[in-house]
Structures are given as structure tokens and as C-alpha cells.
A = this chain, B = another copy of it.
Amino acid sequence: MRKIADLRYAGAVLEWDQETYLPPRGAEIRAGQLATLASEAHELFTAESMGTLLERLNAATALTPAQQANVMRTREDYRSQCKYPPAFVRELSLATSASYHGWMKARKENDFRLFEPELARMVTLKQQQAALLGYQDHPYDALADDFEKGMTVKQLDEIFLEVRRELKAVLEKIRMAPAPDDSMLRGHFDRDAQWDFGVMLLQSMGFDFRSGRQDISEHPFTTSFNARDVRLTTRIDEADFGNMTWSCIHEGGHGLYEQGLSFEAYGLPLGEAASLAIHESQSRLWENNVGRSMAFWTRYYPDLQKRFPALDQTGLPVFYRAINKVSPSLIRTEADEVTYHFHVMIRYELEKKLLTGELRTADVKAAWNELYHTYLGVEVPDDKSGVLQDVHWSHGSFGYFPTYSLGSFYAAQFYAAAERALPGLAEKISSGDLGGLLGWLRENIHCHGRRYYPGELCERVTGEKLRFRYFLDYVRKKYGAIYGF
């Protein structure tokens, strides 16, 4: 398993390099290198001898519970991976690289038509993948399960129904109230001063720079090659320090999870994150529940003001309202934490229809623009701000978007549990003591790796299955106070 992990994480290093330092003309060969690493790892993992070993281990009686969990999860992975023919693995990897570069080009030219053939090829591959994996009700189930064990269209439809019903009602109330002024968030914020502020925040959160680093990339992301080598990236827009600030806190949340995984279990399920939604719960808990709270900025706003004297005239309460302004917008990654889930829902609806063939790739752009009009009341002016804004489809990540919303909902439920377990948490945070919260996350979530399914983990940590109500309560309380309803 370590050998397979070595190959997989070598691929991750090459992907990280591709997003940060790769010279433009190096892309062509890099695609082949990534495909080879993916194929070799797949071949080693799906070898018959691996299956035999796993069956013997599964029948063994002298295993510790942790060892049993490793065997169980590995067997599941083995069975799932064995469904992919080697040629499919290579084809998917090569198609992903081509599609990523197609998307980059289309985005630069602001023309969806340049990406459409690549998207069509990717949808076909994803339909094949769903068929290979198998499903009962909906091809989407097969892909979603790959990202979030046990997640189905049935459950997701129920969750997004709540979004459309309950969250929509909150949004209506917010729309009736006067909007906070957030003009002070825009201006000129020096690149180096932003970088230093971000690094200081990461250090305060407990991110260990001896076991990780931060670089610049076009799209912020986190990747990890083991618990002692975790790479974050950020981007800096000198006209808008918020872009860097919350991407830094968000990726820092992902990074803390990776650094909190068991180093000793490198290559084994217990050394891996529980699921993508649990991963996202960590980033969004830090980004929103902590990073957009009054407590957090009580500590860090004076520091921010020192670095950016333009904020001198703005008091903390005004700043707090500004950074929590809710306003329907075009770009998912820049959306506030209320409207965010409508962005996700739109992508979810489109993906489902693409997979069943109800929607043709040629019509995705029109459908996208229509849904943005319907759910968010915004008109999409061009492809770059619309259907071409996200990298995910070009990466072949279909079934992935819902984990973003689930992440927020888990985050709210986890944070409520942390508040119960850690009395005076807000006061601690407002004094800059973030270690108590990190310790609780480490102990309750990070250290388990993939030992439990995401749903089980949630029950262990919070005493309940995932419930949308926690997020709704959080949003109602916070935004009720800000908007006065």
C-alpha cells in the first residue's frame, strides 16, 4: 500500500507543479507522465495478488480494530477500482489533461464553444464510469458515491429541497433589509502585505510550515503528499484583499486536516481523509464559522488595519457587516455563505441531466444562464463569469459539487458540537487562542482518517446524522442579527 501511495502521491506532486511552476510548453509531456503514474498505481492496486491478500486479511482473527478498518476500506476500494479496465484509467487521465487545457484556453478566449467538445468527451467518459461502477437508481449515484460514500440523488434532492425552501426564505428576508456598505473592502492592498497577513493567519490557525508550504496558483487549492508535506496555494488580487484572506483561511482548514491525519498510517485508509464533504467541512468551518465571525476579527482586525491603513476609518462592527454582506452574484467562489448553495445546486441539477443525456453539452450554457436567472436573479454576461468559471468539469469531477454544500452543513453541525464541548469558545477565539478548537477537531475528526463512513463519523462527533437544521439555525441567527429580522 505504501508503494501504491508513493506512485499516487508522486502524481500529486506533478499536479501541484503543473498548477504552480510548470513552464507552458511542459504541459504536453506532463499529461503523459500523469497518465503513466495513474496507470501504474491502478495496475499495482488491482493485481490479483492484492485481492488474495485482502481476502486472507479479512478472514484473519488477530487484527486490531484499526487494522480491521484498514482492511475493510481497502477491500471496498479494491472492489471499486477493479471495475475499471486499465485502458479506461489511462484514457481518463489523458482526457482530463486535454480537457483541462481546453477549458483554460476557452476561459482565456471567453468562449464556451472551444470547451464543448472536451466537455462532451468527458461526459461520455463519466457515463461509462457510472456504468462500470454500477448503480441502482441514477448514474449520478455511482459518481457521487465515489466522492462521498453512500451519497445518492435521493438524499441530495431532499437536501437541496431544503435549500430551495428554507434557505430561499432566509434570502428573501435579507433582500428586504437594507444592504451593508462594503465599499471599504475594495481599494489597493499591496501584494506582499497581503501575503504576509495570510501567512500570519495560517500560523495562528496552527498550520505547521515545517510540514507544509504555501505558493501562488491561478485557483487556490490544497494538496498533500503525506501528513508532513501539505501544500496550500492562494491567489492575490491587489484590488480586493478578501479574495486572498478567505481563500487562505479556507485552504488552511483543508491543510490542518491533512496535517492532522496519521503520519504512521501513510498509504492506508486510516491515514486518509474521511471524505470530500468532511474535508470541505474543515475548510468551511475555518473560513466561515470561524473566519467570518465577530470573535475572530475582534482579534485580527486591528492587525489588518495596521497593515492596511485605508481601513483606519472603518470600525469593527461596520467591517463585520461588510464581510458578511449577502448578495446574489455570478461567481461561486466569491459568493457569500447563504447564496453559495444555490450556485452548488445549479451545478448539481445540470450534472444530473448531463449524465442521463437529458441535457446535451451544446445546451449547457443556455441552461446555466437560465438557472442563474431563476435561482439567483442574475444575468450572466459572458462565459467566463458563467459556465466556464469552474475548473471541476474539466477535471472530470462530476458528482463533486454537492460535497461543497454538504461541507458547510457538516461544518455547522460540527461547530455546534464544538461550542457545546468547549465552553467560552468565542472568547478564546477573540483572544487569538485557536488551539482549543484545533485540538478538538484533531481529536474528534482528523485522527480517525477513513476509519468511519462520513455519516457514522458525524454521529460519533455530534450524536446525530447530518441535519440541515444546524446550518439553517446558524444562518438565521447570524444573519438575523446582521440584517435585523
Q: Residues of A with Cβ closer than 8 Å to B?
A: 2-3, 6-7, 9-11, 13-14, 17, 21-26, 28-30, 32-33, 35-37, 40, 208-213, 215, 225-226, 228-229, 266
Contacts and interface: CB of A to CB of B under 8 A. Distances in A.
Nearest to A37: B10
Contact of A17 (B3, B17, B208): B17
The 9 nearest A-B residue pairs measured at CB: A26-B229, A6-B36, A25-B228, A29-B226, A6-B33, A25-B211, A25-B210, A24-B210, A3-B36
Central interface residue in A10, A17, A211, A225, by most chain B CB within 10 Å: A10
Given A29-B225, A215-B21, A229-B23, A37 B209 contact: no
B32 A6 contact: yes
A420 to B, nearest CB: 34
A36 B22 contact: no
Copies in the complex: 2
- The A contact surface, by secondary structure, is helix
Contacts of A28: 228
A299 to B, nearest CB: 27
B228 A6 contact: no
Contact of A7 (B9, B23, B40, B209): B40
Contacts of A21: 213, 215
Nearest to A28: B228
Contact of A211 (B23, B40, B208, B225): B23
B40 A229 contact: no
A229 B22 contact: yes
Given A6-B36, A26-B229, 8 more contacts: A2-B32, A6-B37, A10-B14, A10-B36, A23-B209, A23-B211, A29-B225, A30-B229
A266 B28 CA distance: 11
Contact of A10 (B2, B23, B33, B211): B33
Given A10-B10, A36-B6, A26 B209 contact: no
A226 to B, nearest CB: 4
A26 to B, nearest CB: 3
Contacts of A40: 7, 40
A17 to B, nearest CB: 6
Contacts of A209: 23
Central interface residue in A25, A35, A210, by most chain B CB within 10 Å: A25
A229 B21 CA distance: 10
A41 B33 CA distance: 12
A26 B35 CA distance: 24
Contacts of A228: 23, 25-26, 28-29
A272 to B, nearest CB: 14
Contacts of A6: 32-33, 35-37
